[in-house]
Amino acid sequence: MLRRALALIALTATGAQADPCRLALVLGLDVSGSVDGAEYRAQLDGLATALTNPEVQAALLARPGAPVALSVFEWSGPDYQRPVLPWTELTGPRQIADAAEQIARTPRGTAPLSTAVGAAMAHGYSTLAQRPDCGRQVLDLSADGTSNTGPRPRDLPEPRAGMTVNALLVGDAPGLEDWFRTQVIRGPRAFIERADSYEDYGAAMRRKLLREISPMLLGAR
């Protein structure tokens, strides 16, 4: 009886120490043929800089007992989705800095020239499905153009309840925002962030991260 009681106490203590994930965030970076080497680097460096921005870091760490989990991949054609950062719990400044460093030092792979937004969405859905423990799930796709191959985003099954798909669009290609608004973004509080060029990517990513994280902080008050 005593052993059973002690085991129950230990199990309860372990459960109490477990940190629930408040947000699972998957970022998909466009590496199709429209993105040159400098623009590829601007995405990685811009994301790394945004993550280590003091305002973003404060938002990420505002609820120590409920961290944000981050995963990053790059995408182009229907069969190209390459991991950049595996699931990482951003529990402190060191974890954020390590994640930013890993992202920034990623070398570019050999990707198809085509653009398959639907396939990138499907990959993002399957990645988010790995984190059912998180209170909210968000997929965010960066892009500077619309699909020219692969499944159409509108033909994909609806994501699980509560999942959000946002977009960070670069440039002002005709019809780009309308296409993403009608075909891609969906779910609670879905939105589109804009960057005029890849030079503005880091600032746009910072705004996007703050907007995605902040509603959760407001809801916790």
| The model scores a pTM over 0.75 | yes
- The pLDDT assigned to 45 comes to 98
- The pLDDT assigned to 162 comes to 82
Assigned token pair, 135: 């209170």
CB neighbours of residue 215 within 10 Å: 13
What CATH number belongs to 26-213?
3.40.50.410
Cβ distance 30 to 143 under 8 Å? yes
User: What are the CA-CA distances from residue 155 to residues 24, 159, 198, 210 (Å)?
Assistant: 24, 12, 30, 30
Identify the bridge partners of residue 141 per DSSP, sorted by sequence position.
28, 167
Angle CA 129–167–200, to nearest 5: 130
Task: Give me the residue spans of the domains in the chain.
Answer: 26-213
pLDDT tens digit at each of 221 positions of the chain: 434 433 433 333 333 344 589 999 999 999 999 999 999 999 999 999 999 999 999 999 999 999 999 999 999 999 999 999 999 999 999 999 999 999 999 999 999 999 999 999 999 999 999 999 999 999 999 999 999 999 999 999 888 788 999 999 999 999 999 999 999 999 999 999 999 999 999 999 999 999 999 765 444 43
- The pLDDT assigned to 14 comes to 34
